[in-house]
Amino acid sequence: MKEFDYVIIGGGCAGLSLAYELETHEKLKNKTLAIIETRPDYKRDKTWSFWKVAPHNFDDCVKKSWENFSINIPNKTNHIECKDYPYQSIDSGLFYEKINNKLKENRNISFFKNIEEINTKNSFIFSSVPIIKKNHLNLWQHFCGVEIETKNNCFDEQIFNLMDFDCEQRDSVHFFYTLPFSKNKALVETTWLSKMNDNSQKDYDQQIKDYIKNHLKIKDYEIIYKEEGAIPLFYPLYKKEKNKINIGTAGGMTRLSTGYTFLNIQEHSKYIRENIENISNSKRFEISKKYQFLDDIFLRVLNKHPKKMSNIFFNMFRTSPKTVIKFLSNKSNFFEDLKIILKMPKWTFIKALFY
């Protein structure tokens, strides 16, 4: 059986981002790489969005970028400018195509469907397949979104809606998210933060249909794309092994309070590329302990007081946009953290330390 210097298990966002980073920095000229991916073919299946707080390799896969967004709770709307850190949406279809075209050029890179097809005994492994133990207490961000095309021009494509809490909460945290790609095309998503044990939350199609009709007031439209997912708001199991590193969601790259993962994956890929020659002795790359601690408290509050969360999110965005975006994107300094913390209901958060 064939052997490879490096093996990437899972050719999704993290696996392909890492392969691209290694390839474009000529780290695979004299090394071999096997990518193990089970999917039959690559097609658009996700829309990765984030505030661009750091450079990345995929500006040419950006479907749309915004400098303004809104967040609302019943009867209150906050309009926020984000010129310094525009919000970008990446089309996964373009991302897969760009990377796969690049990787095909190097004969040192091979694709397999099953790890049993190769000998991994002497390889360094990067795994993006998470090990998730079922636990009914775990929180998830679960959602479904549709891209619709309308007959008439219905959207203001200059501003997207990050969170619309003016909807049924069902003893949980629920909001809609709308990304207008043009005047007549938008991604409309229903998102829940919950333990996923209430099946009534999963009637996503009906929720979206009602929202489009009653809130967006759109009657004439066609669904041209659909995506669905569940992001764990906890860290998957991570077994320390000498010749293996977990990447992506499996590697703890999700910011647990928000679900944002894409840019962390890019930073992790860069870190691995910079240390690839001595990767088995390099320090583990993680989201800083400060954010792990703050997110843990945040999620305890969310678990205990789901009804308070819409106000908490809304108030968080009443600090300067730069501060809140930096905080949510792991780039804030001590004073910025403090500004955010001061916007939180103090006793609720202090009590959460002892739950």
Ligand X SMILES: Cc1cc2nc3c(=O)[nH]c(=O)nc-3n(C[C@H](O)[C@H](O)[C@H](O)COP(=O)(O)OP(=O)(O)OC[C@H]3O[C@@H](n4cnc5c(N)ncnc54)[C@H](O)[C@@H]3O)c2cc1C
- Chain residues in the site for ligand X (CB under 6 A): 9-15, 36-39, 46-50, 128-129, 227, 229, 231, 248-250, 259-262, 265
CB of 141 to ligand X, least distance (A): 8
Nearer to ligand X, 161 or 352 (CB): 161
Query: Minimum CB separation from ligand X for residue 114, in Å?
Result: 7
Distance, CA of 301 to CA of 295 (rounded, Å): 10
Question: For ligand X, which is the closer residue by CB, 32 or 348?
Answer: 32
Both tokens of 343, joined, read 């916007």
Report the nearest approach of ligand X to the CB of residue 227 (Å). 4
CA–CA dist 14, 249 (Å, integer): 8
Residue 158's Cβ-count burial label (10 Å; 0-12, 13-18, 19+) is exposed
212 neighbors 218 (Cβ within 8 angstroms): yes
- By beta-carbon proximity to ligand X, the closer residue of 11 and 180 is 11
What phi, psi does 118 have (nearest 5°)?
Answer: -130, 165
Q: What is the DSSP string of 57-85?
A: S-GGGEEEEESEEEEEETTEEEEEE-SSS
CB 25 within 8 A of CB 259: no
Query: Which C-beta is closer to ligand X: that of 10 or that of 321?
Result: 10
Dihedral, 202, 204, 205, 210 alpha carbons, nearest 10: 120
Closest by CA to 151, choosing from 174, 110, 185, is 185
- The least distance separating ligand X from the CB of residue 222, rounded to whole angstroms, comes to 21
Which of 90, 352 has the CB closer to ligand X?
Answer: 90
Is the Cβ of residue 82 or residue 250 nearer to ligand X in the bound state? 250
CB of 63 to ligand X, least distance (A): 11
CB closer to ligand X, 248 vs 321: 248
Q: Which lies closer to ligand X via its Cβ, residue 88 or residue 150? A: 88
Q: Residue-wise over 18-45: b if at least 16 C-beta within 10 A, else e?
A: bbbbbbeeebbeeebbbbbbeeeebebe
Report the residue number, 262 or 352, with the smaller CB distance to ligand X.
262
d(CA 264, CA 330): 9
Q: What is the nearest approach in angstroms of ligand X to the Cβ of residue 257?
A: 12
Helix ranges (H only) for the chain are: 13-24, 92-104, 204-214, 262-274, 289-304, 309-316, 321-328, 334-342, 346-352
Q: Is the dihedral of CA 181, 183, 187, 192 positive or negative?
A: positive
User: Nearest-CB residue to ligand X?
Assistant: 12
Is residue 259 left, alpha or beta, with left meaning phi > 0 and alpha meaning psi from -120 to 50?
left
Nearest distance in Å: CB 113, ligand X: 8
